[in-house]
Amino acid sequence: MALTLTCPVCGKRNGYEFRYGGEEKGPRPDEADLTPQAWCEYVHMNKCVAGIQKEWWCHKDGCGVWFTTHRNTTCNLEVDTPEAQS
Amino acid sequence: MLRKSKRLWGDQAALKSSYDAVIIGGGLHGLAAAYFLARDHGIKNVAVIEKRFLGFGGSGRNTAIVRANQRTQQNVPLYKEALELWPILTKELDYNLMFFNCGNLNLMHSEAAMNTARMNVATAQFHGVESHLIDAKQCKELVPALNISKDITYPIFGAMYHPPGGILRHDAIVWGLAKGAAKHGVHLHQQTEVTGIGVENGKIVSVETDKGRIKTPRVLNAAGGYSAALSYQMLGIKLPISVLTIQAMVTQPLKPILDHVVSSGTYHAYANQTLKGEIATGAHMDAWPNYTTQTTAYYIKHQAEALSEMLPCLRGVKFMRHWGGLADMTPDMAPIMDGNNLIEGYYMDCGWGYFGFKSCAATGKYMAQFISSGNCPEMLKPFNLSRFEQNRLMGETAALVNYTPDN
Ligand SMILES: Cc1cc2nc3c(=O)[nH]c(=O)nc-3n(C[C@H](O)[C@H](O)[C@H](O)COP(=O)(O)OP(=O)(O)OC[C@H]3O[C@@H](n4cnc5c(N)ncnc54)[C@H](O)[C@@H]3O)c2cc1C
Ligand SMILES: [Zn+2]
């Protein structure tokens, strides 16, 4: 489907050049005192927002950079800010 | 409309202010749970709340394949029971479900794949499910249209042959269960959206809808593709789910040429001929989460390429319809059925991905047991949510799925 993403290095490119890297969940939890719950939360759990979410992408078939962006999951459109209307 | 038509499940009743159980989602899992709650457990004061219409979700969009040759010993018994239920339900619901047990042929394209199939076959046979390993020549004998030449991208080495599987008309089972549930007193509320779930002192007390509040001590989340979003939004419970659009299509109707479900993981394509003659074929999944249900030219090309190699007689045949639906995928390709623990009276039946059609009736039967007694039946215990925390993923897939960051 139509998906265009903006790579911070290469600019707007076809979505099929990228690999999805998951919902943005903050920094990887510290290993000291890490509980199975906290690890599971970081690795597996998702909010599955039907709307705008912050997420990771890798420009796999391009420059290889990892970056975050905001996308509306109900229409596959990248948005500038999380406040943008869906 | 000139003809006065009557709904199979009668007129929509007025929404009551309280029910003994509220089921979110008028898909097959919700309808089956409602049917068995009312029929077997005397809980008849039940509402199924559906925001669009019955079967609007995956239940009316799937490619209708049923089988019981899964990979793990926790999964096979549930699917086996599900498969055995179709002829029984056809009678019980007094509705033609158009079950065609033509058998499934799961193609293998390498020696390594043949070895994996050997294990799968052993698991099936151990559980009393008929499944055989066959070679390429035997595949050709069963399905003459199949291309077993060495001169294709992925030559066929053999197949896992599962005679009792096949296809079932997906709309028919939606309508049949709706009719059955209504007969036992269940209220089916279409065009009604659940907007919130009320919890007090750790117990379910109500469900908010756009048509008003319903008091209830029990809620089942069977919202399919929306179950994870709903769970987080309404209860703050995150689930290990990614929601992806998955597509399927049918060709123009043809004379009978294919009397088995043929599937290939390597070609990423499967096909079967419906009783109307169309070749129903799927399924391409987007590689990133989205709720669009949009279709793509990219996928039409993929499917045309795969089919013209596997089944060359289909070259030049036209695709007639093409559609998308949502698949709520878990990391281990097995569903999540759990409840009455995080919140008293809250149950979930979700994470069914692209395989929740074939299991719906048996699952509804066990979920009804669960919801009526508050205790999880043995059959469903392996599917609990805490398996992810315990790092005991179920292994329904041999390799990691590719929509997660960790592949
Ligand atoms: C293209 C495609 C092919 C597939 N092929 C197969 C196959 O061959 N074999 C197989 O076994 N499985 C297949 N599946 C998977 C199968 O269709 C699903 O797993 C199954 O239908 C799930 O049923 P369900 O009742 O859980 O969800 P659904 O049928 O999706 O029902 C959920 C319902 O909840 C409603 N809802 C959502 N939010 C709310 C709310 N807030 N309030 C009220 N209602 C709400 C929705 O409108 C929807 O009707 C396929 C799926 C797709 C999309
Ligand atoms: Zn780039």
% of chain B at pLDDT higher than 90? 91
Q: Which residue of A has its CA nearest to B297?
A: A1
Supply the CATH classification number for the domain B104-163+242-329: 3.30.9.10
pLDDT at B4: 72
Q: How would DSSP label each residue in B3-55?
A: S----TT-SPPPPPSB-SEEEE--SHHHHHHHHHHHHHSS---EEEE-SS-TT
The verdict on a CB contact (< 8 Å) between A76 and B294 is yes
Q: Which two tokens stand for residue B373?
A: 């007694």
pLDDT digits (tens, 9 = 90+) for B137-192: 999 999 999 999 999 999 999 999 999 999 999 999 999 999 999 999 999 999 99
Confidence of residue B128 (pLDDT cuts 50, 70, 90): very high
- A36 in contact with B, Cβ within 8 Å: yes
B292/A37 touch (CB, cutoff 8 Å), yes or no: no
**Pocket around ligand 1 at a 6 A CB cut-off:** B 24-30, 49-52, 56-59, 61-65, 193-194, 222-226, 230, 246, 248, 282-283, 325, 327, 352, 354-358
Does the pLDDT of residue A84 top 60, yes or no? no
Q: Chain A: give the shortest CA distance to residue B102, in Å.
A: 34
Q: Which residue bears the tokens 């000291």?
A: A32
A21/B292 CB distance under 8 A = no
Q: Which two tokens stand for residue B71?
A: 């990979």
Task: Judge contact between B115 and B182, C-beta under 8 A.
Answer: no
Mean local confidence (pLDDT), A40-54: 96
Res. B402: pLDDT tops 60: no
Instruction: Closest CB to A50: pick one of B229, B239, B331.
Output: B229
Cβ within 8 Å, pair B405-A21: yes
3-state secondary structure of B400: coil
CB contact A34 to B (< 8 Å): no
- How large is the ipTM? 0.94
How close does chain B come to A40, measured CA to CA in Å?
5
d(CA B335, CA B268): 22
Q: Which CATH fold topology does B21-61+171-240+332-389 show?
A: FAD/NAD(P)-binding domain (3.50.50)
Q: Report CA-CA distances (Å) from B153 to B109, B149, B156, B307, B309.
A: 10, 10, 10, 12, 8
Q: Which two tokens stand for residue B270?
A: 């499967």
Q: List the domain boundaries for chain B.
A: 21-61+171-240+332-389, 104-163+242-329
